[in-house]
A and B are shown apart, each in its own frame.
Chain A
Amino acid sequence: MKPLRMSGLTKEYRLGLRQRRVVALDHLDLEVEEGEIFGFLGHNGAGKTTTIKLVLGLLHPTSGSAWILDQPITEVAVKQHVGFLPESPFFYEYLTAQEFLTFYGQLFGLGGTTLARRVEELLELVSMKEARHVPLRKFSKGMLQRVGIAQALINDPKLVILDEPMSGLDPLGRRDVRDIILRLRDAGKTVFFSTHILPDVEMICDRVGILVKGRLSAVGPVQDLIGSTSITAIDMVVEGIPDRIISDAERAGATAVKRGGQVLLTLSNGLEVDYMIDLVRMHKGRLVSLIPHKRSLEDLFVQEAGGVRT
């Protein structure tokens, strides 16, 4: 059973008097595996939110289909097992946190002590117990995001869809959201979330998909995409070596920057490193530090997006 599957999912808009055709999402084929954290990446306007809205029935696809837990998304009942946090959530600000969670729980048909217990658990999970009787209009952005995550989990969903859950949060808030996502995976849930905050994705995602101008340009496990062993450069800081050696290193392809008595050498591959270490030892120099730079998700993202920005 696939928690989420899309086949040829396409959304076109007709804009203006001339009905100019704009393709927001172009034949997206994607499968999300059970129990994984899937990161959906793309720059602003790439089609991430459009995809999520199509899957949840907020938009009608121009063509293509999608399934949640092997049920077509047109079946309203399938949403019983889905939790959703929209981007920059706006909620009923006249409700208190507790009333808000109770309301959403009732929409799932929950009630009585089961719902009261669930609300209690979630307020605890998102550290909002103290603010349970405060109306949402008095909440900060971070608090709204937390209570928003709580409403996405009220039905104990099998699939959790989060649209930009970390945007606008401070580092502590982001860490909290990251921890909640990891805990969800540990509890056997599948998490599908869109973001453009790459370090978070690299840290917690099992697989990622990169969307560029409405098309899926890369998909796979993070390590496969960025290459687990591919080292792009090595920074080597040495001291006490003669200038002649620095010139030798530059001839061999390294770049050198002098900083006081130390020299920063940036080398492009491992072979040069061995050669340079031998040279340093031979001339009684000292190796201060050696830092390898791996290819990051950000590099991959920039490469896939090709610098395209809208």
Chain B
Amino acid sequence: MKRMAVIAFNTFKENLRDKILYNLLFFGLLLIGSALLLGTLTMGEQQKIIKDIGLASINVIGLLVAVFVGIGLVSKELEKRTIFTIVSKPVPRYEFLLGRYAGLAFTLFVNVAIMTAGFFGTLLVSQALPDAGLLTAIGLMFMELLLIVAVAIMFSTFTTPTLSATFTLAIYVIGHCTADLHALGEKLHGGLSKWLINGLYYVLPNLACFNVKGAAAYGSPIEMRYVLTSLTYGAVYTAAVILVACMIFQRRDFR
């Protein structure tokens, strides 16, 4: 546990010293700030525009950090062979992977927290008040990011960084369309294709359940039960993906 914390802290330190993270964060804050300008161009809906752009910016920037830094977490270690000196220490491989994951999760948390502060600051400037609905939306978004990081790490334990990025982004896109997959499966009349489509529906993550941005921007109520169910689903799915990643990583040869 202590070793895992050491690796997590080192990962956080590594991310802090990475310029890409600052660039993304700066860009995110700029996007959120730009909502003020765009808001003035619309009639009456200014605060809704700011909320829409703010939430979308946090989502996009968070996703970019999760995918690209997440993939680098393991593949950079393999490419630069720094993994040799870690695995040759009394560190079980799963501890290394979990430590790296925790480090990036904390980085993402800090990142999302800074962008949220920027977002709420922008709202205050436009004389709107941040509400619990917005925080709930950001919380679910963060859960989604944790799941995406787990997927990115899992792919990077056995394939190249480019393929990992492609697969992870593909999972993200399909993950937001699983309802369509389900509808398609219902329309098919049996056979292999129905079986395959239904299989994909159950195996792929349902990321749409973490998306309450629309309701939050409109100020519609979000049920607590829905939030808790989504969070539990996200946590279980993330744990399962990390478990698979650990199993693959355990069997891997570091040539």
Contacts and interface: CB of A to CB of B under 8 A. Distances in A.
Interface of A: 53, 56-60, 76-80, 82, 84, 86, 88-92, 94-95, 99, 103-104, 106-109, 151
B86 A107 contact: yes
A79 B251 contact: no
B89 A79 contact: yes
B88 A108 contact: no
A260 B144 CA distance: 87
A86 B92 contact: no
Interface string B243-255: 0000000010111
Contacts of A84: 84-85, 88
A107 B91 contact: yes
B10 A92 contact: yes
A107 B89 contact: yes
B2 interface: yes
B254 A92 contact: no
Given A59-B254, A60-B253, A107-B6, A77 B90 contact: yes
A107 B3 contact: yes
Contacts of A106: 2-3, 6
29 contacts: A56-B84, A57-B88, A58-B84, A58-B87, A58-B88, A76-B90, A77-B90, A79-B89, A80-B90, A84-B84, A84-B85, A84-B88, A86-B88, A88-B81, A89-B85, A90-B80, A91-B82, A92-B10, A95-B13, A103-B10, A104-B85, A104-B89, A106-B3, A107-B6, A107-B7, A107-B89, A107-B91, A109-B3, A151-B85
Contacts of A60: 251, 253
A76 B92 contact: yes
Given A86-B81, A92-B14, A94-B17, A76 B91 contact: yes
Interface string B56-74: 0000000000000000000
Nearest to A151: B85
Contacts of B14: 92, 94
Contacts of A107: 3, 6-7, 86, 89-91
Contact of A109 (B2, B82, B251, B255): B2
Given A86-B84, A92-B10, A103-B10, A108 B89 contact: yes
Closest 9 CB pairs of A and B: A84-B88, A56-B88, A94-B17, A79-B90, A106-B6, A86-B84, A58-B254, A90-B80, A107-B89
Contacts of B6: 103, 106-107
B85 A79 contact: no
Given A86-B81, A90-B80, A103-B6, A108 B90 contact: yes
Nearest to A89: B85
Contacts of A80: 90
A86 B251 CA distance: 21
Contact of A92 (B2, B82, B88): B82
A94 B253 CA distance: 26
Interface string B16-29: 01100000000000
A104 B7 CA distance: 10
A240 to B, nearest CB: 63
Nearest to A78: B90
A151 to B, nearest CB: 7
A59 B85 contact: no
A297 B80 CA distance: 34
A33 B199 CA distance: 57
Contacts of B89: 79, 104, 107-108
B37 to A, nearest CB: 36
Contact of B88 (A82, A95, A103, A109): A82
Contacts of A56: 84, 87-88
B87 A57 contact: yes
Contacts of B85: 84, 86, 89, 91, 104, 151
A104 B88 CA distance: 11
B141 to A, nearest CB: 29
Contacts of B2: 106, 109
A86 B17 CA distance: 25
Contacts of A59: 253-255
